[in-house]
Amino acid sequence: MSSEALTHPAEPAKHASAGDNYLTNGFSLKSWLLTLDHKRIGILYLISVSVFFVIGGLAASLIRLELITPAGDVLSHETYNKMFTVHGVVMVFFFLVPSIPAVLGNFLIPLMIGARDLAFPRLNLLSWYIYIVGGLFTLTVALTGGIDTGWTFYTPYSSMFSNTYVAMAAVGVFITGFSSILTGLNFIVTIHKMRAPGLTWFRLPLFVWAHYATSLIMILGTPVLASTVALVAVERVFHIGVFDPALGGDPILFQHLFWFYSHPAVYIMILPAMGVISELISTFSRRPIFGYHFIAFSSIAIAAIGFLVWGHHLFVSGQSPYAGLVFSFITFLVAVPSAIKTFNWTATLYKSSISWDTPMIYAMGFMGLFLIGGLTGLYLAAIAIDIHVTDTYFVVAHFHYIMVGGAVMGYLGGMHYWWPKITGRMYPEGWAKISAVLIFAGFNLTFFPQFIVGYWGMPRRYHTYAAEFQVLNVMSTAGASVLGFAYAFPVFYFLWSLKYGKKAPSNPWGATGLEWQTPSPPPTTNFDEVPVVTEEPYHYPMLEPERV
């Protein structure tokens, strides 16, 4: 690719044929199931995570339906326990963790760095099959009796008392962990070894930086979780004492091992979304990201410090108060890199020319919801407040503001931004804006009341509650109804756009980056010639979007 193409990224790429694209080249079921093309594997992940999102969402709907009234008059307590466990396990391990890395990361990273594929295409396909096998194990559990431990599998309940299929669910999560490990390995090697000439580390898109940091967490943290849930299964089946105090085990050891992975896993979910937001804010403000180097390094800082804060989940476990003080301090510290990103995004927007396209609405929604989630996280880092609200709906609200308000808003913003590149079609902008606004409104109506009932003392994971909490729970359920409709709406108009949407130009947003130098959808080989990068990232010298 010539340097001039990079200086004027709104011009269509001349080096690749728009007729030869990954969607139409060998369109058969076998060609898709045996594909080694990173773009097709990204689409396979897109379909898979969407199915799991629907399953997890249906479980959440039953939970909110039960909580309309204080009495447990819709679901029995056993069924309710199984519903919130299915919701948590499916959403965390089969949607939130893989959604952006496996879908958008798979599709975009080779395009963004000027490569023709990921470093290990066969491992990439294998990671999807492993993900599917692990998911089938877990869905088998849901269909054959369920599991009632919650997504955290806390011992000693999971290892001693539960009469549900804990071991099989643990096997499903164990298998799925290998999918994350292989994906992280693939991304790290690809980013290190396959960057285009001239694409130095500090010319990489921040989306790539975010996925690099995420991949480090995947490789270092996932084996710990896989080993931990495997030990739970071994203890239940073979009665070997690891966590069971009746067998000489230590149930608190489980919490240390589980949260050593599961708190960094929060950043597996949110770091890629932060990478998406950096791309959106730069494109739709028509400015380079303010403090690029700080944002890049903050991703690595989040990944590193994130491994040192797991103990704030154990403030009420009886751990040493001195350990609690250390974990509290480090938890406050890990908020600093996230604050750096937020302040730099705000500085980028200051006095800029903002285009209020749908992806930008999602970016602003992300910033608002993530801000609330981040600030309430500081409350949970303070030992005294955390002890008061532990295992209440305050924690549920905080978690969802980060994971759903943050990760899902980032995911949907990225899907709307790159949908023209992925499919070659434009979606109806008016419908998309309505959906984005409804998601923001429905989300706040669903989860903000939960901060209040949690602070008042309503415990989570109970299917009955005191009558004085009913009004706020009805508000949450009403918000969940709006949110469910708003989440379903993009599925409708995305599918509609595949047939009726206008054909997308190569660069409908006038964005920078190598992925926008290919036709929409991209050719099978991405680039016929290795591109050469000569510009700094997010360089916008009088760029205009292509007309649709």
Here the CATH number for the domain that contains residue 522 is 1.20.210.10
Mean pLDDT of 313-328: 94
pLDDT band at residue 6 under the 50/70/90 scheme: very low
The answer to whether residue 310 is domain-embedded is: yes
The three-state secondary structure class of 459 is strand
284-293 mean pLDDT: 94
Q: Which of 400, 356, 354 is nearest to 377 (CA)?
A: 400
The model's pLDDT over 398-411, given as tens digits with 9 standing for 90+, comes to 999 998 889 999 99
503 has which bridge partners? 425
Task: Reply yes or no on whether the pLDDT at 16 is more than 50.
Answer: no
Residues 186, 118 contacting (CB under 8 angstroms): yes
**Residue 196: inside a domain:** yes
For residue 400, tell me if it sits in a domain. Answer: yes
Which residue stretches of 67-165 are H helix?
A: 77-91, 106-113, 121-143
Domain count, the chain: 1
pLDDT band at 25 (very low <50, low <70, confident <90, very high): confident
CA distance 458 to 66: 15
Domain that holds residue 510: 37-536
* Helix-helix angle 358-381:393-402, to 10 degrees: 140
CB-based contact 302:334 (threshold 8 Å)? yes
Closest by CA to 343, choosing from 322, 321, 370, is: 370
**C-beta separation of 67 from 476 below 8 A:** yes
**Residue 322: inside a domain:** yes
- Is residue 243 within 8 Å of 253, Cβ to Cβ? yes
% of the chain at pLDDT higher than 90: 86
Measured distance CA(545)–CA(464) in Å, rounded? 54
Distance of CA 218 to the CA centre of its chain: 13
User: What is the DSSP code (8-state) at residue 23?
Assistant: T
- Domain-located, residue 27: no
The mean pLDDT value of the chain amounts to 92
Work out the pLDDT band at 481, boundaries 50, 70, 90: very high
Measured between alpha carbons, how far is 545 from 447 in angstroms, rounded to an integer?
A: 37
Residue pLDDT, tens place only, 186-202: 999 999 999 999 999 99
Kindly state the average pLDDT of the residues 262-270: 92
At residue 19, the pLDDT reads 58
pLDDT score of 112 more than 50: yes
Question: Taking the CA atoms of the chain, what radius of gyration do you get in angstroms?
Answer: 23
Residue 259 scores a pLDDT above 70: yes
> Is pLDDT of 66 > 60?
yes
- How much is the average pLDDT of 149-174? 92
Query: What CA–CA distances, in Å, run from 71 to 32, 107, 189, 426, 477?
Result: 49, 47, 54, 47, 15
CB atoms within 10 A of CB 401: 26
3-state secondary structure of 425: strand
Q: How far apart are CA 268 and CA 483, in angstroms?
A: 24
pLDDT band per the 50, 70, 90 thresholds, residue 7: very low
Helices (H) and strands (E) in the chain, counts: 17, 0
In angstroms, the CA 197 to CA 192 distance is 12
Between CA 402 and CA 370 the distance in angstroms is 6
pLDDT at 10: 37
* Longest alpha-carbon distance in the chain: 71
* Mean pLDDT, residues 266-275: 95
Number of other residues whose CB lies within 10 A of the CB of residue 356: 10
**What does the alpha-carbon distance between residue 99 and residue 302 come to, in Å, rounded to a whole number?**
19
In a domain? residue 94: yes
pLDDT, residue 546, reads: 62
Q: Are 128 and 107 in contact (CB under 8 A)?
A: no
Q: How far apart are CA 420 and CA 377, in angstroms?
A: 36
Q: What is the DSSP letter of 540?
A: -
Residue 30 inside a domain? The answer is no
Q: Tell me the two tokens of residue 305.
A: 């410090």
What band does 548 get if pLDDT is binned at 50, 70 and 90?
A: low
Contact 352, 306 (CB under 8 A): no
Give CA angle at 312 (322, 265), nearest 5°. 140
DSSP annotation of 458 reads P
CA distances from 217 to 25, 42, 150, 312 (A): 35, 20, 23, 19
pLDDT at 12: 39
SS3 503: strand
Q: How far apart are CA 522 and CA 20, in angstroms?
A: 8
377 domain residue, yes or no = yes
Band of pLDDT at residue 544, cut at 50, 70 and 90: low
Give the mean pLDDT of 539-543: 67
pLDDT of residue 305: 95
- Does residue 542 carry a pLDDT above 70? no
Q: What is the mean pLDDT of residues 378-388?
A: 95
In this prediction, residues 471-475 reach a mean pLDDT of: 97
For range 433-444, the mean pLDDT:
97
Q: How many CB atoms lie within 10 A of CB 272?
A: 29
In percent, the amount of the chain with pLDDT more than 70 equals: 95
Could you tell me the CA-to-CA distances from 335 to 129, 305, 404, 411, 415 in Å, in that order?
36, 10, 18, 21, 27
Q: Closest Cα partner for 413 from 353, 470, 352, 363?
A: 363
Question: Please, what is the Cα angle at 438 between 435 and 441, to 5 degrees?
Answer: 155
Query: Of 411, 426, 444, 396, whose CA–CA distance to 498 is shortest?
Result: 426
